[in-house]
Amino acid sequence: MGSGVLRETFDRIIPPQNLRKHLKDVQNHDRLQSLRKQRILTSKQWGHLYPGDASSVSSKDFDPTLLMVLLRTVCKLTPPTAGWDAPPHAADIRREADIARLRYFMNTVLDQADKARVSDALFVKYCENIREMLVRLEGAPYGDAMDKMMHRKTDPITEEHYKELLMQWKKNEDCIKDKMNELESATESSGDEGEFSVVTMVRRGIIMSEPTLVSIQIC
């Protein structure tokens, strides 16, 4: 679900019919090319941005990591006061803050992946915060979808598999975060409770799906 919200938010900023033109813009192309050279973007992601048939480019092919990179680099958004990687101030409910908040909660959940468990209270807190943020970004239907997902049955057989995928995604996210922060810094200087499985949130679609996790290989 989180990846869907990122995509819809991106499409609102850069409508699908304008995407090709936006990516062809010299300044945007040069910036993305620089990210590719620094291995912030993978060859696969670059291929989705600039496919052989330029008319086929679509945000539907962009994974959540790529969407986050695009949102903070070529969408002309004002970074939240606390920055893109820190939890935004509670009172800040601007679109940019909620984009950062979504990424922060995704990574907060991933930080628990090595423990694989969170308390009932913490799980509910995560979900309530994510629900509020999704509704603000893309409307009430996401709140309804979130409520339904919270009551889905989980499959413990595949839990270890998802945990491994989560850990790999976390590693890649940390790598990108460090590289993006270095790049932006350089740019600025020069100009006993019951427990829920963390992977349950992934399986229920709250964070992102398995194909997305498998496809991201940054470092």
Contact 146, 131 (CB under 8 A): yes
Task: Say which residues have a Cβ less than 8 Å from residue 57's Cβ, sequence separation at least 6.
Answer: 19, 20, 23, 48, 49, 50, 51
Task: Report the amino acid identity of residue 16.
Answer: P
Is residue 37 over pLDDT 80?
A: yes
Taking CA atoms, 28 is separated from 57, 59, 63, 71, 191, in Å, by 15, 16, 19, 12, 17
pLDDT digits (tens, 9 = 90+) for 84-140: 888 888 889 999 999 998 888 777 766 665 555 667 677 677 777 778 888 888 777
Q: Among 31-35, 58-62, 207-211, whose mean pLDDT is lowest? A: 207-211
pLDDT digits (tens, 9 = 90+) for 140-196: 776 777 777 666 666 666 556 656 665 666 666 666 666 676 666 666 555 544 444
**In a 10 Å sphere around its CB, with 0-12 CB exposed, 13-18 middle and 19+ buried, how is residue 141 labelled?**
exposed
State pTM to two decimals. 0.68
Q: How far is residue 156's CA from residue 154's CA, in Å, rounded to a whole number?
A: 6
Q: Among 33-37, 156-160, 211-215, whose mean pLDDT is lowest? A: 211-215
Beta strands in the chain, from DSSP E residues, in sequence order: 117-119, 195-197
pLDDT of residue 213: 37
pLDDT of residue 177: 65
Task: Say which residues have a Cβ less than 8 Å from residue 49's Cβ, sequence separation at least 6.
Answer: 23, 32, 41, 57, 62, 66
